[in-house]
Amino acid sequence: MSSYNKDLDSIQRRLETDFAERIAAAEGELQRLHQERADALESVVRLRRALSSNGLRSIEGLQLASFTEKPVKTLTEAVRHVIREFIVGDFDINTVIGLVNRHHPEIKQPLNPTSVSGILRSLWDDEVLLQVKPGAGPKPAIYRLTETGRQFMDIQNRFVVELEREG
């Protein structure tokens, strides 16, 4: 085989290798983009489910930029407020009860732990909270607010404020 043919073979192998590497990189990027799209669609589905569970059909026409904090009237609002504003990292029902007692004395005392537990379970069902560790006997479940959950709680609070302004 001549030197010319050897050079052509070498060039062809390098091109094939380079082409295969580029194809693999493009397939990886395509897979990452598909996953991002799936995650975004999942967030939209969760938001729609949460909106419909609160009797809202769309977010059109709401002025989200004019948001101001509204006073807390119910235990559910108080629990959502302390989770959104004061909790960082993992927490349990006792942390929530302590924060509600401290920051919302207007809520009827003493707090019913069963009611607070039901609210936390509902937030977990709505995927606002992640259950890090299930409760067992006297040990309470450990929760964590998801980033999507934090964003959702902020948006939902804005919707409620805006709807009260319109109503």
**Domain 64-166 in CATH 1.10.10.10:** yes
* Confidence at residue 73, expressed as pLDDT on a 0 to 100 scale: 83
Q: Say which residues have a Cβ less than 8 Å from residue 114's Cβ, sequence separation at least 6.
A: none
Give residue limits of the domains in the chain: 1-58, 64-166
Dihedral in degrees, nearest 10, Cα atoms 8, 14, 15, 20: 150
pLDDT of residue 146: 87
pTM: 0.55
Distance CA 15, CA 6 (A): 14
Q: Tell me the average confidence (pLDDT) per consecutive run of 10 residues in the chain, 167 residues long.
A: 83 92 90 79 68 53 40 87 88 95 90 94 89 93 87 71 64
Are the C-beta atoms of 102 and 78 separated by less than 8 Å?
A: no
Cα Rg of the chain (Å, integer): 26
Yes or no: say if 111 and 75 are a contact pair by the CB < 8 Å rule: yes
